[in-house]
Structure formats: C-alpha cells, structure tokens
Amino acid sequence: MKQPIRIAVLISGNGSNLQTIIDHQKQHSHEYEIALVVSNKADAYGLIRAEKAHIPTEIIEHSKFEHRKAFDYALQMAIDSKQIDLVVLAGFMRILTPAFTQHFLGKMINIHPSLLPKYTGLNTHQRALEAGDTEHGLSIHFVTPELDGGPVILQATVPITENDTKESLKEKVHQKEHLAYPLVIQWFAQNKLQLKNNQVWFQQTVLSKPQQLHHLNDQDI
C-alpha cells in the first residue's frame, strides 16, 4: 500500500476547516496524515483541536519577528523539518513572501471565501452583499506569489437571499468549505492534482475552468 502523504495545516484562529480535515482523515482516508499544525497566534482555538487529535503543533508568532522574511523563513524551516508533501492554508491570516510561495509552489493550497477572481483579500461576505450579488461561495486554489491569485482548483457556490446578513452568508460558505477542503486534499494525496505552467491539471488533463462541487460524480467524492 502507498504511504500516506504528509500534510501541514497552517491556521490563525478557530480552525473549523482544520477540524473537518481531522475528522475526514480519521473516518475516510489512509491516503494522507496531518503531520503538523502551525499557528501564528498562541491563542488560536485550532491548536486545541489539533492537540485533542494528538497532532504535533507549533506556535510561530509573527509578532516576534522583525520582518516578514524572517517569519516566513522560520515557518519554512518548521515545515521542512517534518518532510511535508502538502501545505494547507486554513484561515492562515498572513501574507506570504514570494520566496516562501516559490519554495512550496505546487505543494501549497489555500481556501478563500469568495468566487475568485471576485473579492480577493478581506470582508468578502460583506462585499458580496453590498454588490447585490445573487450568489457567493468559496475557492480552493494553488498558492502563487499573487495574493489569492493562484489557479483555482475547485469552487462551490451558495445562493444569496434577501434575508442574508454577512453572518448568515459566512455560515453558509463555511458549510460548503467543510465539504470541499478534505476532498481537494484527498485528490492531491491520490496524485490527481498538479500545478504546471500556472495551470491546474486534474487527472492528467488541464482544467479549463475550476471544478464545481455540485457537478462532481460519486467517484470523485
């Protein structure tokens, strides 16, 4: 049997996505293992989730470093010391240096709460509401030096209804995030996903547009 790939999950806060990855791994997958959880904040609740699941954790506080480069280098060292195959950003609220993104190019993914290229950066739910959009959602993408700009692997949409607030919208998006992120990690672990020439390849074919969660067949899930 193939050895499971080793993933590191980087967080800054609550870690509900981390939790679904932990649960999915336990219940459904021997194809990956969570070898490390890193937080840039000592009080991130996600650290408790990781400890409960007996996953090694590290706290690397950005505030203790003089500049971004030094912080990213410490982060890189921590990840590299654990022989990690895939870095999973799950609510990690730091902008990464080009040197860091280059080091993990093709081996680092992020989840962003909008239908990219719409609404890179922060406050995505509020911005979707203010724009009068009728749908919103999430994107999972390979990380490149461009902030929230790497090639998108998968998207999931949610409808925006009259009564939605930014909180209700956030909740709806979170529910879809929890289905989508473990799935994409599983694809990577199964060797189905690659980044080549700034394009996503899925099962040896270039993706002309992102996969859509609701279009997937049973065998993909």
Q: Which residues bind ligand GRF (CB under 6 A)?
A: 13-17, 90-91, 111-113, 138, 174, 177
**CA-CA distances (angstroms) from residue 95 to 110, 120, 144?**
12, 12, 11
Nearer residue to ligand GRF within complex by CB, 90 or 128: 90
Instruction: Specify whether the CB–CB gap between 170 and 137 falls below 8 A.
Output: no
Which residue sits closest to ligand GRF, CB atoms considered?
Answer: 91
User: Cβ closer to ligand GRF: 18 or 189?
Assistant: 18
Nearer to ligand GRF, 145 or 201 (CB): 145
Euclidean distance between CA atoms 91 and 19, whole angstroms? 12
Alpha-helix residue ranges (DSSP H) falling in 42-114: 45-52, 68-80, 98-103
Angstrom CA distances, 111 to 4, 70, 73, stand at: 22, 24, 22
Closest distance to ligand GRF from the beta carbon of 100 (Å): 17
Q: How far is CA 216 from the centre of its chain?
A: 19
CA atoms 39, 42, 44, 47: torsion sign: positive
Query: Strand, helix or coil at 59?
Result: strand
The β-bridge relationship of strands 211-212 and 199-202 is unpaired
Dihedrals phi, psi of 155, to nearest 5 degrees: -130, 155
Supply the minimum distance, in Å, between the C-beta of residue 178 and ligand GRF: 8
Q: How far is the CB of 15 from ligand GRF (least distance, A)?
A: 5
Q: Is 174 among the residues known to form the active site?
A: no
| Catalytically annotated residue among 112, 125, 136, 141 | 112
Question: What minimum distance in Å lies between the beta carbon of 203 and ligand GRF?
Answer: 25
Residue 152 CB, shortest distance to ligand GRF, in Å, is 13
Between CA 102 and CA 144 the distance in angstroms is: 7
Residue whose CB is less far from ligand GRF, 14 or 29: 14
Q: Closer CB to ligand GRF, residue 82 or residue 166? A: 166
Q: Are strands 211-212 and 152-159 parallel, antiparallel or unpaired?
A: parallel
Q: Provide the annotated active-site residues.
A: 112
